[in-house]
Structure 1
């Protein structure tokens, strides 16, 4: 649990010198004094340089060693328009790192005996259906490991009422699975929506209320919220941004409580993430009580269906150590959580821009902690505005609907511009394909969703038309 430095004055007897003992000062996490000097000296230059390269307005960082925060800092601005700085207390919308919290909530029900990971979802939601009738094959464990077959999707229709979560899960009756449950892997926000509804149903209270009472409160995460309405100090909330067409734009996209278990609207601070990590690294014990048994926490970090996935966590090896991690993003913010359980070490980055640079910063900081060099920065995806004058007649050959790894994509021509509509988001996100050649485009949209992605098309001998992102086929046109 995060604490500010306390000075202790020892007033015991001074038998030999007649002098009192000088105060002892515990290093403040905000000063990062507890870090090795070699790391501390490199930390700020590294973070600020990567922020500049990635166009990140504001970023907060928390580092744990020995299971406790040793560095909690803010960099840059939480709001560029008001010049408000990012601090360890600034609230950032973290996105999908919430999934580990949802998995923890569901594991609480497993330990309480009200949920069985091997049971079908229909045991807890008897009405649950999918369009292909395979709902009985979806087990609870499939939801937590992205192996249910439910497609990737992002739901942001602005519905905030208490019934939004159940309505979303009921709407999956119109959705076909991408594969037989347990026989593949596809990242699925809807899978975690279903998991959250199971928690809500068996606990008999709204999911947000349950998570607050049973996870956040015992872990001391008093400034973590699942909606903006409950934030008592709105000035603490970071403004989110999008980077597109070479500029930063403040954005405030709507969100939906239908995807709260997947991370649609979790606002938290670096300080509270430090408390979350502390509770996990102490194997479930928080300042307000135990949230899960030590065995239950460890079980979340073990393969359940596939080798690379625990419950709400990605499993891998990094720096010669076991790493459990997860990234998160919304349309205007992001986060990255890294934990090294055997070393009682953790790193988290929260940023008010959706960018992969958050992950690079977190991994770079972890590398320094373990005496290794951070990986080089990824090449910039920035590209100057095009001067190419297209023959728009060529574009008609690309028009159509594509079934892709990122969901349905529709290509259309409107008012002399080529557009891509991404159906993975509901409502769909529409982006312009800026032409740099007859078959060379860069995606641009108001949220910078795929900013800088190179888009092209490829004809196959059998007549199929492939859609390529950065030179790699991601799907083909539907006949």
Structure 2
């Protein structure tokens, strides 16, 4: 790549200080890709095992504020890799068993939640921790938007006990469970024998962390995953992120119709939209109690450290966050090709680790996780063969068939290898 290399100046003090900006020609090419897809603001980072090679940002974070590498927003399903890490730490410490029945943990929990989770179609077959981490449960979100979608709301953040109460109502048979539905909340597949991407499975994994430790999920992850990894600007609790650092989620509308992969949640938009409106719409700050599956707030600087930790087999800057053998296992396929070939996941999985996965067409050594929430799009990709990683944080929702992130990631990984 050619072009002058600058240094970011986002007013972040020592946070991310000294990281070079992208080469100008690469940044212009990346911005062309996001502009074409109407992405309002984007930040990226490029890493090797030893350092953050580049970090840069462009566009608008929210009304009146530019996007920076410190602009922080809800990163969607990339959060699952953090949740899996919290679970795997407990496995490594002997406090959870990968192949243990989750009911053994739930029934003794000191934090309110479901006391047992079994498929109504296969009540004799246990759901295990490994099933949760590899999307081998029959747990599904129910009808859309349904109970899951209605957890999204503006205003005050939920209290930390709300997730356990919600999971209890969703997964506990009537009359105790208000939103329990045996036909819609569970597929008819046998636990362990069918792969389907499950947000509920990872929310339940997050609740297991609470059940084992006796601490609320966000508090435990802050102390045992995020801070040890040096991710001081990230948190599962929105209100712990300084207001000045928060970006806003956006959607792109064409003739009054929302584009992107999510339903049109007009209740989260603080202004009315004309029937023929074309342009960006900024969501009001929203929250959900179901954080483990997709509720982490983070940014390009912290996600760079997250990628480095995984390239370093669970260790970053000499600090172990996850035992090396466990980190290696997480980036190893645990689901048979036969099961994956029949997967009901929205993407073509060819290998499923613990949260991390590989998709059809990935080069050898690639492990990845995409994230999307209402009005956001993120990505973390690891190239374990070349020892490189790349992250993308966008504050605008994109459509599955018009997603610029795949091409952007390849350009960023090539830059890491060259840098």
Q: Which of residues 116, 119, 123 in structure 2 aligns to 1:128? A: 116
Distance in 2 (alpha carbons) for counterparts of 1:118 and 1:369: 40
Count, aligned residues: 336
> Contact between 2:307 and 2:380, CA under 8 Å: does it hold in 1?
no
Change (3 A) 1:253 1:236: closer
Post-superposition shift, 1:235? 1.5
Greater relative contact order, per chain length (Cα 8 Å cut-off, separation 6+): 2
Partner of 1:205, secondary structure, is coil
The structure-2 alpha-carbon separation of the partners of 1:67 and 1:344, relative to structure 1 and needing over 3 Å to count, comes to farther
Instruction: Within 5 Å, give how 1:381-460 maps onto structure 2.
Output: none
Task: Name the structure 1 match of 2:247.
Answer: 238
Q: Is the 8 A contact 1:131 1:172 kept in 2?
A: no
Aligned to 1:169: 167
Check if 1:30 corresponds to 2:20: yes
TM-score norm. by structure 1 comes to 0.66
SS in 1 for 2:60: strand
Say whether the 8 Å CA contact 2:45–2:390 is kept in structure 1. yes
- Partners of 2:225 and 2:306 lie apart in 1 by 9
Q: For the residues of structure 2 that align with 1:63 and 1:317, how far apart are their CA atoms?
A: 23
How far did residue 284 of structure 1 move?
1.5
Name stretches of at least 5 consecutive residues in structure 1 with no aligned partner: 6-26, 33-39, 373-479
Q: Is 1:273 matched with 2:286?
A: no
* In 1: Cα distance, 2:281 partner to 2:385 partner: 41
Aligned-pair distance for 1:99?
Answer: 0.1
| Residues 336-415 of structure 1: pairs in structure 2 closer than 5 A | 336-355=379-398, 356=400, 357=403, 359-366=405-412, 368-369=414-415
- 2:175 corresponds to 1:190: no
C-alpha distance in structure 2 between counterparts of 1:334 and 1:347, whole Å: 14
1:140 aligns with 2:183: no
Under a length normalisation based on structure 2, what TM-score does the superposition of the two structures give? 0.75
SS in 2 for 1:321: coil
For structure 2, which runs of at least 5 residues remain unmatched after alignment?
1-6, 9-16, 108-114, 143-147, 173-179, 255-277, 338-350
- Distance in 2, Cα, partners of 1:363 & 1:102: 23
Structure 2 residue matching 1:124: 3-state secondary structure: helix
Q: 2:98 matched to which residue of 1?
A: 117
Q: Which moved more, 1:350-359 or 1:183-192?
A: 350-359
> Does the CA contact (< 8 Å) of 1:141 and 1:305 recur in 2?
no
| Change over 3 Å in CA distance of 1:341–1:175 after alignment to 2 | farther
Q: CA RMSD in A?
A: 2.4
Q: CA deviation at 1:247?
A: 1.7
Determine helix, strand or coil for the equivalent of 1:70. Answer: strand
2:59, 2:281 → 1: CA distance?
A: 16
Aligned equivalents of 2:374, 2:285: Cα separation in 1: 7
Match for residue 283 of structure 2? 251
